[in-house]
């Protein structure tokens, strides 16, 4: 990154920031329904090397995309031709509206979060940019507030209607533990996972074509369900009450809502199971989550089924499920740490044999949230 910075900007960077990607360990699509999620900030992250400028220009270069962009901090507009830079423009725009002093800069960006695979490279970029503005301006935001502002940038400026999960994990995460996040009041508590367990990402390397449009449809169906039941959000209804009342809903809306209410109910139990290395509970909860994702919420895809089989047949696996929004992309397996290498080898071979696609399977540990380095 330093070499690239010298090449493009003619001097060495003086400020470094980073922000992690994340994987959800339980709680698919619960965030925008104001439910709970068990989430892990991962040691795949987005780095920014920067140097302040004397004028009000922001000049960015992404090593991942081999692309450059430039904008004036006094008049921040989206750029359809450089959509990737909208994540940075959006953060700048939201911070400016909050009355924060913005400083011009030159920056090189490099990420080890796979882009567009469900591990939230978009939030990692936003949170690294927000942290850069803090460092340049000499002011600080509370991490939860920073997450909310980055979410607002993605919602309002980029136009992606995501929940708070990605930005919260990237800003608030702590090294060494998962977070049990309550999206209703934005509180979280640290969860220590069993040290004998290895969280392992299994990237199907398949395109997530439906993710955008279907995400919006799922969200609308959840909102419809909540409205018909007279609730502010699906979070408000206990599982037993929902089962008694789901007949009031149109069948497709009922299935979507049932998944959310059941998935929210699994989150706390999964936190306990992963802390206690409770093999039976991990197996049961992950299997129910994946079954619901495929049959009720319908966010499965053929490559995910192939990966699920490959993961469950590999040695050392305790359980496995979808991750992110679904529709392909990454999945997550919980593996006995001592058997991670065997698991990776065999799951890779089985998935490649079934699909003709070589997956990317790698272990992840809990990394620190966004910060200067």
Site of interaction with ligand ADP (CB under 6 A): 46, 62, 64-65, 83-84, 87, 109, 111, 115-122, 125, 324
Q: Does 200 bind Mg ion (CB under 5 A)?
A: no
The encoded tokens of residue 254 equal 């009922």
The item of ligand ADP, Mg ion, none sharing an interface with residue 64, based on CB under 5 to 8 Å by kind, is ligand ADP
Q: Residue 35: CB partners within 8 Å, gap ≥ 6?
A: 27, 183, 184, 233, 234, 235, 260, 263, 264, 267
List the single partner that 102 binds among Mg ion, ligand ADP, none, CB under 5 to 8 Å by kind.
none
Least distance between Mg ion and beta carbon 167 (Å): 9
Cβ distance to ligand ADP smaller for residue 173 or 225 = 173
Give Rg (Cα) of the chain: 21
Contact status: 122 vs Mg ion (CB under 5 A): yes
169 near Mg ion, rule: CB under 5 A: no
Active site residue 241: no
For 310, the enclosing helix (H) or strand (E) is helix 302-313
In the complex, least distance from residue 31 CB atom to Mg ion, rounded to whole angstroms: 12
Nearer residue to ligand ADP within complex by CB, 22 or 256: 22
Q: From Mg ion, ligand ADP, none, which one binds at residue 25 (CB under 5 to 8 Å depending on kind)?
A: none
Please check whether residue 1 is in contact with residue 47, taking contact to mean a CB–CB distance below 8 angstroms. Answer: yes
> DSSP letter string over 32-66?
GGT-EEEEEEEEEEEEEEEEE-SSSEEEEEETTTT
Tell me, residue by residue from 74 to 113, as one string, x for binding to Mg ion by CB under 5 A and - for no binding: ----------------------------------------
Q: Which is nearer to ligand ADP, 148 or 340 (CB)?
A: 148
SS3 334: strand
Q: How far apart are CA 214 and CA 106, in angstroms?
A: 37
With vertex at residue 200, the alpha carbon angle to CA 271 and CA 283, rounded to the nearest 5 degrees, is: 50
Looking at beta carbons only, is 126 or 134 nearer to Mg ion?
Answer: 126
| The one catalytic residue among 86, 106, 166, 265 | 166
Q: CB pairs under 8 A, 24+ apart, for 80-83?
A: 83/158
Q: Which does 355 bind (CB under 5 to 8 A by kind): ligand ADP, Mg ion, none?
A: none
Which part of the chain contacts Mg ion (CB under 5 A), choosing from 122-130, 250-258, 277-285, 329-337? Answer: 122-130
Range 256-291 burial, b when 16+ CB lie within 10 A, else e: bbbbbbbbbbbbbbbbebbeebbeebbbbbbebbbe
Which of Mg ion, ligand ADP, none lies near 30, with the C-beta cut-off 5 to 8 A by kind?
none
Minimum CB–partner distance for residue 111 and ligand ADP (Å): 4
- Cβ(199)–Cβ(364) under 8 Å? yes
| Number of residues near Mg ion (by CB under 5 A) | 2
Annotated active-site positions, please? 166
Contact footprint for Mg ion (CB under 5 A): 120, 122
């Amino acid at each position: 990154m330093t070499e690239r910075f010298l090449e493009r900007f003619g001097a060495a960077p003086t400020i470094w920031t980073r922000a992690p990607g994340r994987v959800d360990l339980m709680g698919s699509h619960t965030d925008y329904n104001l439910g709970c999620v068990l989430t892990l900030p991962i040691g795949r992250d987005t780095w920014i090397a920067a140097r302040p400028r004397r004028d009000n220009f922001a000049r960015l270069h992404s090593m991942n995309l081999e692309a450059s962009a430039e904008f004036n901090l006094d008049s921040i507009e989206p750029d359809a031709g450089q959509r990737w830079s909208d994540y940075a423009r959006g953060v700048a725009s939201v911070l400016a509206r909050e009355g924060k002093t913005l400083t011009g800069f030159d920056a090189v960006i490099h990420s080890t979060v796979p882009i567009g695979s469900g591990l939230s490279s978009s939030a990692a970029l936003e949170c690294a940019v927000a942290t850069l503005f803090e460092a340049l301006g000499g002011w600080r935001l509370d991490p939860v507030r920073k997450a909310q502002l980055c979410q607002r940038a993605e919602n309002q400026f980029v136009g992606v209607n995501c929940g708070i999960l990605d930005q919260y994990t990237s800003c608030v995460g702590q090294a060494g533990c998962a977070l049990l996040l309550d999206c209703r009041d934005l509180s979280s508590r640290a969860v220590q996972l069993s040290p004998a367990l290895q969280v392992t990402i299994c990237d199907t390397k398949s395109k997530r074509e439906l993710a955008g449009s279907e995400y919006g449809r799922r969200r609308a169906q959840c909102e419809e369900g909540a409205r018909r039941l007279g609730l502010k959000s699906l979070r408000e209804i206990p599982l037993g009450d929902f089962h008694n009342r789901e007949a009031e809903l149109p069948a497709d809306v009922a299935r979507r809502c049932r998944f959310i209410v059941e998935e929210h109910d699994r989150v706390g139990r999964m936190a306990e199971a992963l802390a206690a290395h409770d093999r039976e509970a991990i197996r049961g909860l992950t299997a129910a989550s994946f079954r619901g994702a495929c049959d009720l919420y319908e966010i499965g895809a053929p490559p995910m089924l192939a990966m699920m089989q490959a993961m469950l047949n590999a040695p050392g696996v305790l359980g496995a499920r979808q991750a992110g929004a679904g529709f392909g992309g990454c999945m997550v397996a919980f593996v006995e740490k001592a058997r991670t290498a065997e698991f990776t080898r065999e799951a890779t071979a089985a998935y490649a044999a079934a699909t003709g696609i070589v997956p990317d399977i790698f272990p992840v540990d809990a990394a620190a949230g966004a910060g200067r380095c």
